Chains A and B, each alone.
Chain A
C-alpha cells in the first residue's frame, strides 16, 4: 500500500515526459476531439499572457514554449537567421509543419524584439490562427500604466468576444481569476516544497509537472498537484550531500529536461528556478476588485514576479534578485541563458555582480533547446559543486 502512490507519481511524471517529447500536442488534439467540445484553444508564446480572459471565454489557454528537442527543423531555418534564438525557430516550425492545427489563436506579448516580430510572422503565415499582439507596459512607475493596461486587456477581451461570437461577463472573468489563483497557489506550494525539502521532489520532476500544466485544463492540473503532495509526503527519501542552487535565465526558451537532470546529478539541489514563469507570474493571489480587468492590470503592473522581459521601474530587478538569493539560502547560482537570448544575456552582467556582492559563487553557460549532449556541462557543474563543497566552512 505504501509504494503504490509512489508508483502513481512516477507514472504521472513519465506521462508528462511523453507529452513534452511529442511535438504534435496529443492532449490538445484529444481536447479538440472530445464529444461536444467546441471550446477553442488559445495558445500563447512565453512568458506571460492574460490566460484568465481566454479561460473566461470558455477557451483552453495553453503556452506553446517551443518545439524542444523533438521537432526536426526543416522549414523554419529558411525563415529565421542563425543568430536568432532556437525557440523562435522551433515555434515557427511547429506552425509550418501543421502541429499547431488544434490551436485557434496565438497571443504574443512585448517580451523581446524577436518574440514581437515572430508574432508578425505568425500573422502572415498562418491565417487560420488568430494572432494577437499585446503591448505590456514597461513604465510601471507611471500612474497611467494601470489605466493603459486595463484598456489593452479590454481590447483583448473584445477580440476574444468577437472570436467566440459571444460576450464575456465580468463575473466570468472574476471566476477565471479565481481558478488561476488556485493553480498559482498550488504551484507556489510545489516550489515551497522544493525549497524546504528538495529531497522530496527533484527539479526535473517539478519542471515536467509544470510544463504539463500548460497543456491541460488548469482545474485538472490543480487537482493533480494537490494529490501529488499527498503522495510525496509518503515518498521514502534521504537527504544527500548536495549544494543548494538557483537557476536564472531560462524564463522563455526552455532547456531540455535532461539538462536539468544533469545539473541535479552533478550534485545540486535546484531550490528555485525561473523555468516557464508565466503560470507562476504572481507570488500572491490576484486581488479582485469591482472590475476584474482592472484588477488584472493592477496585478501585472504592481505584483509580477521579476524577470528579464520587463522593466521594474522604482524596484530594480537587482534588489529582487538579492532577496531571492537570501530567501532560498543558496550556495551557488547557475546562470542558464538560452543562446542568443538578449534579455537574459544582458541581465546576466547585472545579476552576476549581485551574486558577487552577496559572496555567492556562480556558474554560467548557454543552452539551446535542441542540445543533446550534456557531458561538458556536467563536468562544469561537478567542478562548480566540488569547489563549493571543498571551500565551504
Chain B
C-alpha cells in the first residue's frame, strides 16, 4: 500500500508518494497560486503520475504546510514543523538541527535522535529573513528567485545590507545600484543578511549537531554558502530539500498505516 504527503506552502505546493518500504516513488511540484485546493490536487496528481501509481491504493494521506486544512482528499494534517523534522531525519539520520527557509517563515527546529521535534523557533512577525525578503530583493533587480543564487556566487566584495525590512530593503538596494555597485555584490549582501538572521534563530534552539537546510530557499546556492560561512561548517542540503515537508508528511502517513495494521 502506498502513502502520500502533500505540503501546501505559501509559494509552492509539493506532494510525495512513498511505497510500503518508505521509498520515494513519486514527486509532484506546482505553484500554489490563489486556489489552494486546486494546487493540492495538481501536485498530488503529478506525484501519482510520477509514481505510476494510478492502479495502487493510496492508503493514507497527510497534509501539511499553511494550506494543510485545505487538502480535500487528506486523512489528517500535521504542522510543517513536525513534518520537516521527520523528513530531514529520514534523509539525514544524524541531523539534530534543521533550518527551513520558506516563503513566509524561517524556522529553526531541534529534533531528537528519533526525529521528533524537541524545540523550535520561528522568525518574528515581520518577513525579515524569509523567502519573501529574498524575493522582494530579487524583483527590485529584475531577477527570479532561482537566478539570484548563481549571480551572487560571482561576488567578490559583498555589500552590507542593513535594512531587514522588506519595504526598506528595496530602496537600499536601489541606492546601492545607483552608486554603481555590482548586482552580485548586492545579492551576496542580501544573502549574508538573511544568513545572519537564520543563524541567530538556530542559536536559539542550539547549534551543536549536524545541521540540515531545507525549504525552497535552500536551492539557492549563494544562500547555502552564506550560511556555511556564517556557521563555519558544512550543512546538509538534499536535492529533495524542497520536498522535505511532504516527505515528512508521507512518513507520518506511513506510520498511521502501520498502526492500523498493528491494531487489526
Point out the residues of chain A lying under 8 angstroms from B128, CB to CB: 82
Please determine whether A375 and B178 come into contact, CB atoms closer than 8 angstroms: yes
Cβ-based interface call for B200 (8 A):
yes
What's the Cα separation between A74 and B162 when bound, in Å? 13
Point out the residues of chain A lying under 8 angstroms from B176, CB to CB: 373
Please determine whether B162 and A77 come into contact, CB atoms closer than 8 angstroms: no
A49-73 interface (Cβ within 8 A of B): 69, 72-73
Cβ-based interface call for A4 (8 A):
no
Among B121, B162, B179, B197, the residue within 8 A (CB) of A370 is: B162
Q: A78-B204, A82-B126, A82-B128 are in contact. Are A376 and B196 (CB under 8 A)?
A: no
Cβ-based interface call for A75 (8 A):
yes
Point out the residues of chain B lying under 8 angstroms from A83, CB to CB: 124-125
B162, B179, B196 — which one has the most chain A CB atoms within 10 A of its CB? B162
What's the Cα separation between A76 and B162 when bound, in Å? 15
Please determine whether A74 and B124 come into contact, CB atoms closer than 8 angstroms: no
Once A and B bind, how many residue pairs between them come within 8 Å at the CB atom?
A: 43
Interface of B is mostly: helix
Q: A75-B200, A375-B175 are in contact. Are A82 and B162 (CB under 8 A)?
A: no
Point out the residues of chain B lying under 8 angstroms from A298, CB to CB: none
Please determine whether A82 and B200 come into contact, CB atoms closer than 8 angstroms: no
Please determine whether B199 and A74 come into contact, CB atoms closer than 8 angstroms: yes
**A: number of interface residues (CB 8 Å):** 18
Point out the residues of chain A lying under 8 angstroms from B164, CB to CB: 82
Cβ-based interface call for A165 (8 A):
no
Mask for B184-201, Cβ within 8 A of A = 1, else 0?
000000000000110111
Point out the residues of chain B lying under 8 angstroms from A373, CB to CB: 162, 172, 175-176
Please determine whether B175 and A73 come into contact, CB atoms closer than 8 angstroms: no
**In the complex, residue of chain A having the shortest beta-carbon distance to the beta carbon of B201:** A78
- B168 → A minimal CB distance (Å): 9
Please determine whether B203 and A75 come into contact, CB atoms closer than 8 angstroms: yes
B116-148 interface (Cβ within 8 A of A): 121, 124-126, 128
12 further A-B contacts with Cβ under 8 Å, apart from A82-B126, A375-B178, are A69-B162, A73-B200, A74-B199, A77-B197, A77-B200, A77-B201, A78-B203, A78-B204, A370-B162, A371-B162, A372-B160, A373-B176
